[in-house]
Amino acid sequence: MENELIIVLDFGGQYNQLIARRVRECGVYCEVRSYRTPVEEIQKLAPKGIIFTGGPNSVYDESSPHIDKAVFELGIPILGICYGAQLMAYTLGGEVKTCTTSEYGKTDTVYDKTGKLFDLVPEKAVSWMSHTDYVAKVPKGFRITAHTANCPAAAFESVRRRLYAVQFHPEVNHTMFGMSMLDTFVKKICKCKANWNMKNYAKTAIAQLREKVGDGRALLALSGGVDSSVACALMAKAIGDRLTCVFVDHGFMRKNEGDEVEAAFRDSGVHFIRVDASERFMAKLTGVSDPETKRKLIGEEFIRVFEDEAKKIGKVDYLVQGTIYPDVIESGTGDAAVIKSHHNVGGLPACVDFREIIEPLRMLFKDEVRKLGTELGLADYLVWRQPFPGPGLAIRVLGEITPEKLEILRDADLIFREEIAKAKLDRDINQYFAVLTDMRSVGVMGDGRTYDYILALRGVTTSDFMTADFARIPYDVLESASVRIINEVKHINRVCYDVTSKPPATIEWE
């Protein structure tokens, strides 16, 4: 069964991935594409609907992102959100002006229930606004379907042309009935049957991978984390014994993790190879303290190790990675800024000795990856394994990496994870770990002065890893972890807990 598709055209909005996420929650597959995507390419993709995102620009500024007017003539339903709404009005002959009173945050909104998006919405409810421009005049053939005290056209539509626009953000939780509006657009206006689920996704993905690889062979970069483990299960079902999984122990693993990964996959039925590359990775990173440089050096060295192993195996056509959607977004795509280069995306070298790199999970969020793993029959402890970045402890030791710092962090991190598990919080906190900072502080131990490292603990709750809130870990659990770390791990005399959400922070510190 072919998945129905909704396309989100990105105009630089901060919520572009969240829109895609919400559409998927409606049971419809969705992808984010650049606003620069040619109309001809959009036609080939044959989407059931298109959504324009918000953005920080003003549509009347010539340097701002604009769209080919022909997209409105495709006959495909379009929903414009915030900047997308203003763009629709501006492009089709309406008028956009600067607000005399800007609207930010929760805003009382009045809805016309005869509007196609609002049949399940009450006449008055709160929406989430974030704009300094507004639609002063809607294009000919459109009618206004919502307003606020300061925004005369908070929503408008042309049912005949299948064009709809809202100034507010229905994708954020702060907009009451926002999911109802998106569900109405996707199912009632775009006529989607909502047939996207993990069972269908898995079946389609396996068939596509089998066709792509053909008679070729693939090498999978296996870290033992949930992403690469699920990619392994998917590829194994697609190409069977023509898949070889290579686990590269780069020397930056958590305590005992290399042995745990080997135990999990050695007898799993797939070809498994463990490579001890710790010396070559450490040689590459000696003296390096910049986090972006770390990530890029690690990404390139991973590829070189895989190339070496591929030559030992024989002819290998494809390299498979467990890249997921948040990795791609943070590494920068199109007009998006690079937040941090993931070793398997932005850290890749320009030239690789493989015909192609396959990323079967590239368009999935973390919780979707876990659902897929369960659908594929992957062991529960692998599906729910704590996320661990590809560069490992190399980006959790801030500044220059040394063997001594790595050992300090391994011991401290293990204690923190043990205390979280003991408190039965390991399923409630989506990611938790320790960070060895590059700072030292004065302390008192045994009536003597110490001057040792500050350790930071981090815990977050999130569903998709695009946004995250710091975990409210009980004080007694933090205290227990802190006391054990300071008493059992040498060279740490102070423990701090990170209470920053994402954004503005990222989940990892580097």
Which of 17, 141, 27, 34 shows the shortest CA–CA distance to 371? 27
Query: What residues are paired with 461 via a beta bridge?
Result: 469
Structure tokens at 347: 């850290």
Averaged pLDDT, 12-20:
84
Distances (CA, A) of 425 to 39, 471, 500: 49, 10, 19
Q: What does the alpha-carbon distance between residue 133 and residue 150 come to, in Å, rounded to a whole number?
A: 11
Is 82 a known active-site residue?
Answer: yes
Tokens 């729910």 label which residue?
384
CA 330 to chain centre: 7
User: pLDDT band for position 408 (50/70/90)?
Assistant: very high
Structure tokens at 228: 């690469």
Identify the pLDDT of residue 348.
Answer: 45
Identify the pLDDT of residue 373.
Answer: 94
* 249 touches 394 (CB < 8 A): no
252 vs 101 pLDDT, higher one = 252
Weakest-pLDDT range from 74-88, 329-343, 401-415, 449-463: 329-343
Neighbours of 104 (CB within 10 A): 10
- Give the active site residue among 4, 26, 30, 82: 82
Identify the pLDDT of residue 332.
Answer: 44
Identify the pLDDT of residue 343.
Answer: 43
Averaged pLDDT, 169-196:
93
Tokens 């290998």 label which residue?
316
Query: What residues are paired with 9 via a beta bridge?
Result: 33, 52
Residue range 187-222, pLDDT digits in tens: 999 999 988 888 888 998 999 999 999 999 999 999
In which element (H, E) is residue 284 found?
Answer: helix 278-285
- CATH topology for the 198-383 domain: Rossmann fold (3.40.50)
Neighbours of 453 (CB within 10 A): 22
Residue range 221-253, pLDDT digits in tens: 998 889 999 999 999 999 999 999 999 999 999
* 101 touches 71 (CB < 8 A): no
Domain segments of the chain: what residues?
Answer: 5-189, 198-383, 402-497
Task: Give pTM, 2 decimals.
Answer: 0.69
pLDDT more than 90, % of the chain: 69
Identify the pLDDT of residue 464.
Answer: 67
Between strands 124-137 and 356-358, the pairing is: unpaired
Burial of 137 (0-12, 13-18, 19+ CB in 10 A): middle
Residue 183 has pLDDT above 50, yes or no: yes
- CATH number of this structure's domain 5-189, picked from the four choices 3.40.50.880, 2.10.260.10, 1.10.10.10, 3.40.640.10: 3.40.50.880
* 509 touches 294 (CB < 8 A): no
Residue 17 has pLDDT above 90, yes or no: no
Q: What does the alpha-carbon distance between residue 238 and residue 273 come to, in Å, rounded to a whole number?
A: 20
- Give the active site residue among 4, 103, 157, 171: 171
- In degrees and rounded to multiples of 5, residue 184 shows phi and psi of -65, -45
User: pLDDT band for position 286 (50/70/90)?
Assistant: very high
* Average pLDDT, rounded, for the chain: 90
Residue range 63-80, pLDDT digits in tens: 999 999 999 999 999 999
Identify the pLDDT of residue 132.
Answer: 85
pLDDT more than 70, % of the chain: 94
- CATH topology for the 402-497 domain: GMP Synthetase; Chain A, domain 3 (3.30.300)
Identify the pLDDT of residue 413.
Answer: 97
Residue range 320-358, pLDDT digits in tens: 999 887 776 654 444 444 444 444 444 444 556 788 899
Which of 441, 459, 455 shows the shortest CA–CA distance to 499? 459
Query: What residues are paired with 143 via a beta bridge?
Result: 157
CA 162 to chain centre: 31
Identify the pLDDT of residue 331.
Answer: 46
In which element (H, E) is residue 414 found?
Answer: helix 403-422
State whether residue 48 is helix, strand or coil: coil
Q: What does the alpha-carbon distance between residue 447 and residue 460 come to, in Å, rounded to a whole number?
A: 36
Identify the pLDDT of residue 351.
Answer: 55
* 234 touches 35 (CB < 8 A): no
Distances (CA, A) of 275 to 90, 262, 508: 58, 10, 26
Identify the pLDDT of residue 467.
Answer: 75
Residue 14 has pLDDT above 80, yes or no: no
Averaged pLDDT, 406-420:
97
Identify the pLDDT of residue 344.
Answer: 43
Is 169 a known active-site residue?
Answer: yes
Burial of 113 (0-12, 13-18, 19+ CB in 10 A): exposed
Structure tokens at 1: 């069964």
Identify the pLDDT of residue 251.
Answer: 95
Weakest-pLDDT range from 226-230, 364-368, 463-467: 463-467
Identify the pLDDT of residue 204.
Answer: 87
Q: What does the alpha-carbon distance between residue 204 and residue 211 come to, in Å, rounded to a whole number?
A: 11
Instruction: Tell me whether domains 198-383 and 402-497 share a fold.
Output: no
Averaged pLDDT, 283-300:
93
CA 391 to chain centre: 17
Burial of 280 (0-12, 13-18, 19+ CB in 10 A): middle
- Give the active site residue among 131, 169, 250, 342: 169
Identify the pLDDT of residue 105.
Answer: 83
CA 214 to chain centre: 30
